[in-house]
Amino acid sequence: MTQTSENVTWLTQEAYNQLKAELEYLSGPARTEIAKKIEAAREEGDLRENGGYHAAKEEQGKQELRVRQLTQLLENAKVGEAPADNGVVKPGMVVTIAFDGDEDDTLTFLMASREYASADIETYSPQSPLGTGVNGKKVGEDAEYELPNGKMASVRILEAKPYQG
């Protein structure tokens, strides 16, 4: 699980290990593989019309961007325990909200960095409009946030529990 607080990212040991392993693969074996693909494509001749060369160079660019993202994330990471179970919305919490106070129109999500989004539960970043609006609120409190169209939306915090993975 990942949580962001300013420039520090909190990670469970498992998440840290997983991201570190990805970084080691991308900066080692994957770099060698892409370099071989580029060299093989370069040997085919005219680079202007060489689709394999251009695809490999694009793949290399994406891979290097991911290496930079992971390096920065891990440099600012703190490995630790889950947040306290005190009903206050913060990164690392599974939050249930009711839109406009309507207990039938609810959403449950994990408030965490997109870096560790899970297929099991919808994830909202603490920097997203909804995340910013609910961060620091307690169960039972109302929060407002700005919609993409500029209008304000109101939600009530129904539940905030630490994410159990």
The C-alpha angle with vertex 4 and arms to 98 and 61, in degrees rounded to 5, equals: 115
Domain-located, residue 87: no
pLDDT at 142: 94
Same domain, 152 and 98: yes
Q: Is the dihedral of CA 25, 121, 73, 38 positive or negative?
A: positive
Domain-located, residue 88: no
pLDDT above 80: residue 69: yes
Domain end, chosen from 56, 79, 102, is at 79
The DSSP code sequence of 59-92 is HHHHHHHHHHHHHHHHHTEEE-PPPP-SSB--TT
Task: Give me the domain span that covers residue 152.
Answer: 93-162
Confidence of residue 129 (pLDDT cuts 50, 70, 90): very high
Mean confidence (pLDDT) of the chain: 84
Please give the structure tokens belonging to residue 110: 């994990």
2-6, 39-43, 142-146: lowest mean pLDDT where? 2-6
pLDDT above 70: residue 3: no
How far is residue 16's CA from residue 12's CA, in Å, rounded to a whole number? 6
Domain-located, residue 13: yes
